Amino acid sequence: MKIAVDARPLSYPANGNGRYLHYMLKYIIPLRKNDSWHLFLNKPIHFEYKDLLELSVTVHYPPFNLPGLLWLNLIIPYQIKTYDLFWGTLAMLPLFYKLRNLPMAMVNFHDLNAFSAQETMAFFNRIQHRMFDRHTIRNADSILCLSKTTGEDILKNFPETHPDKLSIIYPGFLSSKKVKKTKPHTSLQKGFYLCVGTIEPRKNQRLLVEAYQEALSKKADLPPLVLVGRKGWGEDSFFEELLKEKYKGIVYFHQAGEEHLQWCYASAGMFMLPSLHEGFGLPILEAMEHGLPCALSDIPVFREIAPDASFARPDSKEDWVKIFLSRKKLARSKLDRTFWSWEKRARVLSDVMDRFV
């Protein structure tokens, strides 16, 4: 097959969409050697993902710069007409997709936040997805859900959708033995608390930091809390406070590359993720792969991924304070390495793609 991929996530480092697509392509392209792979972007591929260029891929850029939404609707439909399959990786298809006689389409839905948790999204992003999600779900031939929870959200909000249209395509983990680890410029010692995620309201890091400050006032010898993640939206003042080191015991890496991130996983003593809502939570797999105890928000998708983790109410500072103060009592989370491997995840996606042959 001749496959066109909306590869825009590869233009941005340190984000879940980009890392998911990077590793999925890295494993599925060698698995499907008879297919012709074409990556379409409106901005250059970030250097963190340049290893994909060593595979048998062709990269396409527009003749002039356009914002992503205009690029998707004005440029892409004319570029992919002769292809067999279009892979929409950002839960969007060009408008009037079927009417334009475009190729069969499979589309990733990492979450359905615009309907399930709209208060956690930036205004324009929320409006954009509320406009496009229904159209995309109706026009896609296959919907790739990042979790069972996302699939259930789609069927709840769009009950006319046939369940057979949905496939659960989880992400995977990368073995720590295969990844180089580089310590950032820091005096950090091993055993710290670790939280990974874009700084934005949905990730709920502010509550975690407040809980840590309260716990620190009760037990002064707590290890540091390390936050890793680029600036998102809606937390400008909090982001500035982190940069200016306003919080005692908090270490913030806002430009951590893959090698620095892997060092953090390997050196942490506990992983924490206080999200209000998620489509999946890729850092959880990576933390489990390193054998870290995990303290997670008590939301459905986290129980789906890591049922043996410790859970806290995402809106309860008291719950998180207790976890900080009782860290030695938490059990290490277990990971089914075969089920969650990228090799396995790529094979599952390949089976879905076989339906289009």
Structural domains in the chain, CATH included, are 2-172+341-354 (3.40.50.2000), 176-329 (3.40.50.2000)
Encoded amino acid at 107, one letter:
V
- pLDDT in the model for residue 41: 97
Q: How many residues does the chain have?
A: 357
* pLDDT < 50: residue spans in the chain: none
- pLDDT in the model for residue 340: 94
* Secondary structure (3-state) at 255: coil
The 10s digit of each residue's pLDDT in 216-237 is: 999 999 999 999 999 988 999 9
Beta strand segments in 156-232, E: 166-168, 192-196, 225-228
- pLDDT in the model for residue 224: 97
- How deeply is 137 buried, as exposed, middle or buried, from its count of CB atoms within 10 A (0-12, 13-18, 19+)? buried
Contact 281, 273 (CB under 8 A): yes
Among the listed residues 312, 263, 311, 308, the one whose alpha carbon sits nearest the alpha carbon of residue 288: 308
- The phi and psi torsions of 38 (rounded to 5 degrees) equal -130, 125
| pTM for this prediction | 0.88
Round to whole Å and give the CA distance between 228 and 205. 10
* Secondary structure (3-state) at 268: strand
- pLDDT in the model for residue 40: 98
- pLDDT in the model for residue 357: 78
Query: What pairs with residue 296 in β-bridges?
Result: 273, 311
Encoded amino acid at 44, one letter:
P
- How deeply is 236 buried, as exposed, middle or buried, from its count of CB atoms within 10 A (0-12, 13-18, 19+)? exposed
The 10s digit of each residue's pLDDT in 254-304 is: 888 788 899 999 999 999 999 999 989 999 999 999 999 999 999 999 999
Residue 28, CA atoms < 13 Å, CB-side half-sphere: 25
- pLDDT in the model for residue 328: 65
List C-alpha distances in Å: 82 to 63, 79, 193. Answer: 19, 8, 50
- The phi and psi torsions of 192 (rounded to 5 degrees) equal -80, 165
Cα-trace Rg, the chain: 21
Round to whole Å and give the CA distance between 138 and 133. 9
